[in-house]
Structure 1
Amino acid sequence: MKKAIQRSIKMRFQTRIDHQDHTDAYEFTTRGELFHKGKHDYLRFEEVLNNETIQTTMKWNGRELILIRQGVILMRQTFIAGETTVGRYVTPEASWETTAATEKVFVQWPAGKVKGRIDLTYQFELQGQATGKHTVRLTLEEDTSR
């Protein structure tokens, strides 16, 4: 991605969580911004959870993907393929330590007419309790309507 260029993005966000005997799925579409600063690429977008807006930023340096959520939920989690990382999940009621044992991180930014995507697969624990295998896919394309 070229430096110092901010681009408008249309995206589809899909999450699937497989936990023991059940599967949960969550999906939404939104618009966001993709930009480069220093040695990192950033994807910034908003998501709505229980009628509350959460500002989400994904920061990528070619090796690690950092997820930062700010709003009614505060979260910071790093994902590195083949590694287990520690993070934090905070609500108005409590704060919990998180761990992510990341199996896969794939990041491809959109270029021209080619769509980009982010694929992420990890086992997640919240305060030592397994929440299941999380599979996340973001499909990205430049928003030329803006």
Structure 2
Amino acid sequence: MKAKLPVMIASGEYPDIVSGKIDGFNKYGQSGAFIPLNEPIAKWAPNIKKNLIDNPEAKSQTIAFDGNHYSVPMLSAMRTSEGMLVRKDWLDRLGLPMPETIDDWYTMLKAFKEKDANGNGDSNDEVPFSSVGTPDTYYLNFADA
């Protein structure tokens, strides 16, 4: 999106919502490409407003040099992320609780790998964990933990 943003802004034709980083909002917000969200956040988004007050990381992701907010914080700034998804039917089949700790995740993923989590009689065809990226960055899925 970084390369597309300047072209989109120059064309004057862009959608109602744009995803980007603070440097783009700093540059293009102050030039009038984006409307400041200070007033709408204060008026209609009390949870976002509170988060911007209480969470310096969230605020730093959204406040431009001119003091305006041209964006709302990413979910990761609110200490959540895309979130992990778990096959509850596999948990139930293996009698496992929903994982809450890193140790729970290890136990669950090991059981998914070694036992017949999908119930088809073959304990070697389950994929216990899948992620985007490369194997050397998979650990990032657990970084907030």
Q: The TM-score by the shorter chain falls in which range?
A: under 0.3
Which one has a larger percent strand, Structure 1 or Structure 2? 1
- Alignment TM-score, normalising by the size of structure 2: 0.19
* Structure showing greater Rg: 2
